[in-house]
A and B are shown apart, each in its own frame.
Chain A
């Protein structure tokens, strides 16, 4: 059986991955990692912050640019919150992400993918990345 990956071990993996070059630390068991991400050759550069602690889901925030501003008066698709912009990258009730998985090999590539579809959405109003939205009755906040 796989072992849980600690925030420290996640930090090492993020640091050594060629697609999440950036800076970060682990303090009091909380991982903070910031890096620049360009989803495609014609994409912009987005500043991303990932925070993570044991037994929690990784939290992915787009620090800049402000996606709300880019979206104008449209609602952002597939986010947990808009201020700050927190991305919903996986289905929580599946094993797409578990405590045994490396953030650098799941959350990070999914962030690239999310932003690729986001830019397409910005230009066309079409979200081609598929996915699930919580049921309407659950979604009302």
Chain B
């Protein structure tokens, strides 16, 4: 079913027509540009009284240049509805509605409106598109660089690896026949390549599985856990660093990282080679499949999304001052970058807050992002990496299965690599967790979408600090990515200015080259 929305203006009333798809919920973002600095009063009404009113999220995000970002969320009970919302405001100069999956459709709308206004606008619109395309590229570069700043370094990873390999060797050299067959391997973000440094403190988690293949399912959970703990206590150094956690053993390397070692045994009931780990009560085993999950995730991450360059071809025809740019890639698979961004946003939103316990768990973010990525990469085409990234984030909640079990809502996010593991299990006993997920998700979507509304390198720096917890040095490194090439090109005399793009480091036709100069003036003190 086609869906979309368009806006029109009649007597200061903005009509926002939203055609909704049949999948239960829909959200859209309105950017409102108030005239002057007066407060904006917005009223949302459905045109038909029988329609349920849309919900506007509480947070209005004020950005530079007096933009109000409004998140509108529709909850649907009917299979398909065409909504007509009246957005009333006295002080608005214009409204831009975006929905990531509809970018193309919307630019068509704006093009057709522009075309009627005069021939000069056509040129301006091409310039705008050129600039927008470039901006999206730069934003992805900035995010990529930001992720490099917040992830663990290669040397940190290598140190952690050598430590857990040494622990593995210590465990297998035990006289216990169970431990002699033990395999120790990483699971979770360290294995997936999505580890971020913690916002507070400096220690990061390294989650490890200590797999004991010769132990049978009938074995007592506590006894199995003790086999590992007892062996670690035999080691003078490990003994001092050891801490018992509910389901695992932790070895603390102060100020560096801690290794969490969870025992696992074979799951005879899983045809996918799954394992069993202690459940929270330590009374029984629960299914999981760390290795299977990792290889499934890597298969998703390896799918390369295709970006259709229809827009850039169009602008190319209209304006030859375009740099031939290769397809944008990130320094790590883009799926991993998306997950790092989302996890960081989550950490920053919840850390130290009253509701810190409600923060969506990483495995849920990772799983939903993986599925959404697969869908967007295999079933959709996007113009560029930025639009793709937004679409992936947008699609995530659609993969949460919601069942009505005798009047109660039941959430399911299944581990597809084994039977019987529901990552959203806790949501069903504590619905606040589900609410916290949806709330966080819409904020993360706004954060990534609103980056396109920012203007000025310093505005990006502000947003990254405020919503992402970026530190001053992170910002320095991220912006150096943009400024250092300029300084280098300037020294080499190949700097130029191109219409719509500004300073560019590779000269192209229609660009004006920048001759040598020395900035002068008052001392900066």
**CB distance A40 to B519 under 8 Å?**
no
- Asked whether B518 lies within 8 Å of A91 as measured between CB atoms, the reply is yes
- B518 & A18 in contact (Cβ 8 Å cutoff): no
Interface contact B455-A131, CB-CB below 8 Å: no
Chain A 129-141 against B: per-residue CB contact (8 Å), 1 yes, 0 no? Answer: 1111110100100
A41 touches B497 (CB 8 A): no
**Quick one: given A18-B321, A18-B499, A120-B479, are A131 and B457 in contact (CB under 8 Å)?**
no
Inter-subunit contact B476/A126 (CB<8 Å): yes
CA distance A78 to B520 in the complex (A): 5
Which of A44, A80, A97, A136 meets B523, CB within 8 Å?
Answer: A136
Per the 8 Å Cβ criterion, residues 489-525 of B in contact with A are 490, 495-503, 510, 512-525
- Whether the Cβ atoms of B490 and A113 lie closer than 8 Å is yes
| Shortest Cβ distance from B524 into A: residue | A77
Q: How many residues of A contact B (CB 8 A)?
A: 56
Distance in angstroms between the alpha carbons of A41 and B141 in the assembled complex? 12
Asked if B61 is at the interface (CB within 8 A of a chain A CB), the reply is no
Whole-angstrom CA separation of A17 from B503 in the bound complex:
15
Q: Check B483 for interface membership: any CB of A closer than 8 A.
A: yes
- Taking the closest CB of chain A, its distance from the CB of B449, in whole angstroms, is 15
The residues of A that contact B461 with a CB separation of less than 8 Å are 122-124
Quick check: A123 and B479 within 8 Å, CB to CB? yes
Do residues A131 and B503 form an inter-chain contact, with CB atoms below 8 A? no
* Given A109-B514, A123-B479, 16 more pairs with CB closer than 8 A: A39-B503, A40-B501, A42-B454, A42-B456, A44-B64, A79-B521, A97-B517, A109-B497, A109-B512, A110-B517, A113-B495, A116-B503, A124-B461, A128-B487, A130-B518, A133-B524
Taking the nearest CB of chain A, how far is it from the CB of B63, in angstroms?
A: 12
Pairwise interchain contact A122-B457, C-beta atoms closer than 8 A: yes
Interface of chain A: mostly helix, strand, loop or mixed: loop
Question: Which A residues lie within 8 Å of B357 (CB)?
Answer: none
Tell me which residues from 47 to 81 in chain A have a Cβ below 8 Å from any Cβ of chain B: 70, 75-80
Give residues of chain B (121-153) contacting chain A, Cβ–Cβ below 8 Å: 131, 134-135, 137-139, 142
Nearest residue (CB) in B for A75 is B524
Asked whether A89 is an interface residue with its Cβ less than 8 Å from the other chain, the reply is yes
Q: How far is the CA of A14 from the CA of B125 in the complex (A)?
A: 22
Nearest CB in chain B: distance from A77 CB, A: 4
Query: What residues on B are CB-neighbors of A126 within 8 Å?
Result: 476
Inter-subunit contact B518/A131 (CB<8 Å): yes
Distance in angstroms between the alpha carbons of A104 and B512 in the assembled complex? 9
Tell me if A122 and B486 are in contact (CB < 8 A): no
Contacts of A133 in B (CB 8 A): 520-524
Bound-complex Cα distance A133 to B520 (A): 5
Residues of B within 8 A of A40 (CB): 138, 457, 482, 501-503
User: Nearest Cβ in chain A — how far from B500, in angstroms?
Assistant: 8
Given A114-B519, A117-B483, A123-B479, A44:B455 Cβ within 8 A:
yes
Residue contact B455 to A19, C-beta cutoff 8 Å = no
Q: Which 9 A-B pairs have the closest CB atoms?
A: A131-B519, A88-B521, A123-B461, A122-B458, A77-B524, A119-B457, A91-B518, A41-B134, A88-B520
Contact B524 A78 (CB under 8 A): yes
Jot down 8 A-B pairs with beta carbons below 8 A, ordered by A: A19-B497, A40-B138, A77-B519, A109-B495, A122-B456, A130-B518, A133-B521, A133-B523
B460 on the interface (CB 8 Å rule)?
yes
State the CA gap A119–B64 with chains docked (Å).
Answer: 14
Provide the residues of chain B in CB contact with A124, threshold 8 Å. Answer: 461, 472, 475-476, 479
* Contact residues in A for B524 (Cβ distance below 8 Å): 75-78, 127, 133
* Residue numbers in A under 8 Å from B510 (CB-CB): 18
Give the distance in Å from the alpha carbon of A18 to the alpha carbon of B487 in the complex.
23
Interface residues of A (CB under 8 A from B): 17-19, 21, 37-45, 70, 75-80, 87-92, 94, 96-97, 104-106, 108-110, 112-114, 116-117, 119-120, 122-124, 126-134, 136, 139
**Cβ-neighbour of B517 out of A17, A76, A89, A104 (below 8 A):** A89
B503 to chain A, nearest CB (A): 5
Q: Which residues of B contact A42 (CB under 8 A)?
A: 135, 138-139, 142, 454-457, 460, 482
The smallest C-beta distance from B273 to any residue of chain A, in angstroms, reads 47
From 375 to 430 in chain B, residues with beta carbon under 8 angstroms from any chain A beta carbon are: none
Given contacts A42-B456, A131-B518, contact A17 B512 (CB under 8 A): yes
Closest to B139 in A: A42
- Across-interface contacts of A80 in B (CB, < 8 A): 521-522
CA distance A19 to B64 in the complex (A): 25
A123→B520 contact, CB < 8 A: no
CA distance A75 to B522 in the complex (A): 9
Inter-chain contacts of A127 with B (CB < 8 A) = 524
Q: Check B476–A38 contact: CB distance below 8 A.
A: no
- Cα distance A77–B516 in the bound complex, in angstroms: 19
Q: Which residues of A contact B456 (CB under 8 A)?
A: 42-44, 70, 119, 122
Residues of B within 8 Å of A110, CB to CB, are 514, 517
Q: Which residues of B contact A116 (CB under 8 A)?
A: 483, 486, 502-503
Contacts of B460 in A (CB 8 A): 42, 123
A123 touches B457 (CB 8 A): yes
CB pair A96 B523 closer than 8 Å: no
Could you mark each residue 420-457 of chain B with 1 if its beta carbon is under 8 Å from any beta carbon of chain A, else 0?
Answer: 00000000000000000000000000000000001111
**B-side contacts of A112, CB under 8 Å:** 497, 502-503, 514
